[in-house]
Structure 1
Amino acid sequence: MDIFQAIIIAIIEGLTEYLPISSTAHMGFTAALMGMEETEFLKMFQVSIQFGAILSIVVLYWRKFFDFSNFNFYLKLGFAVIPALGLGYLLDDKIEAVLGNQIAISTVLVLGGVVLLFVDKWFKNPKINDEKEITFKKAIIIGFWQCLAMMPGTSRSAASIIGGMTQGLSRKAAAEFSFFLAVPTMLAVTVYSVFVKTWGKGTELEQKGYEMILASNETIITFIIGNVVAFVVALIAVKTFINVLTKYGFKFWGWYRIVIGILLLVYFNFYK
């Protein structure tokens, strides 16, 4: 992976991480369409640049994240992230095995798009418009909904936003809580992938993520640039998404997923 490819992947991450269209799917498709070899470094890079996207949320909502008087906010996120941490650790190998299956991911992209076409009709009368109104029980339930995104192509954002709407949250409140929940979730995933997980297990190339990053000046620069680009692009994408979602709902994103998913199914079935 060269610097140009890393920048393209990071742009895709920043654009799609907080949209209900699956950043994992889009990064995987982009890498495949660019003819990139599916190396362990590429897999790790796609996970680790989420750190840049995390920082964008902390910066945009810095008053919320640094309001230490609102201890319940941190507790809610702590309880809500537990399901994903537990199941993610247990299913890590199975999740990684699916990452290279573009047909399966494209199919999930289409099915998820069909669901999004009807979400606005299913949840018409929200009762909660602010994070402070979310109970611990509701936060944990949203955390379990987030776990649906362990199937690549589902979208963590879509799963947690829909989970929030099932609990009576408005579209905007559900989206913002999804953003907040992404911070501990993705931070844990990034730390695990860089410092804990052994990539290439069972091969001669067994390495920790940080060992791959520090292997050369080129990989260090690639890692830094990837996170910076993901951060900047995510800053723009989050604000745009909130405005579009509040005004138009999910239908646009549903049709987007369906069209892209079908095109990718055709490509990977007949031309790849």
Structure 2
Amino acid sequence: MSSKKAFITGGSRGIGRGIARVLAKAGYDIAITYHTQQQEAQSLADEIKGMGRRCFYYQASLEKAHVPEEVTNKAIKDLGGIDLLVCNAGITRHNSLLTVDSEFIDNLYGLNYRSYILCSKVAANYMVENKIEGSIIFISSTRGIRAYPEDCIYGSFKAALIRAVESMALEMSHYGIRVNCIAPGATAIRGNFTLEELTKSNFAKKIPAGRLGTPDEVGYLAEYLASDKARYITGATIKIDGGLILPGMPEDSSEEAGYGWSRMRFKG
């Protein structure tokens, strides 16, 4: 097993937790941030330590301008270096254009976009100075690819991450540092993730795969993108959504479906 080191923002629960668990199983030492869920961060650290890996966790209000650089430097110091940065922290909000206010926009910008850039700045500088051909991964969303109502703020910042990754990949390629983006679709963030649980929601019926995704599945993709097997992949955004936003799905305007897309039914 390797002794590579990964720092994951927003790693105490949901997709971030899944990524941390998968990477720890692959041999990474882990550092994560959490916002308010200290017990969940502690339980993850205990789980990872049970795998024989190290795990550090930090409370961090990443929406504040000075925090991302400070906590990334701390993670690098505690880990003894960094090979992989996964920027995942964020909040999901729907807000109407008619009611949105500047405080909401500022907070979402600070957490969902600025923190990604500032964490990357610190990690990339360390990699360059220490000649580490590492990897940076942003967690965006399919909502950054397809438009939805009441999503002009959250969706726009997720789209901005995709564009940032492309520019960063061009800039960092000279140093052997790869930068990629993962765009998850509908993902179950709590529960035991049994097939029954993943398929029972009404929303799952709108996904061609017939179910929600799991955090670990996003983790497997992150592990691959950070591995030598993906050395020829940089500047890419990979959807992991069970086909949710594929073009050509018939729109269902019935009251039962509401807005969105329904699964195609084939007869034969």
Task: Bin the TM-score by the shorter chain.
Answer: under 0.3
TM-score by length of 1: 0.28
TM-score by length of 2: 0.28
Higher RCO (C-alpha under 8 Å, 6+ residues apart): 1
1 or 2, which has the higher helix percentage?
A: 1
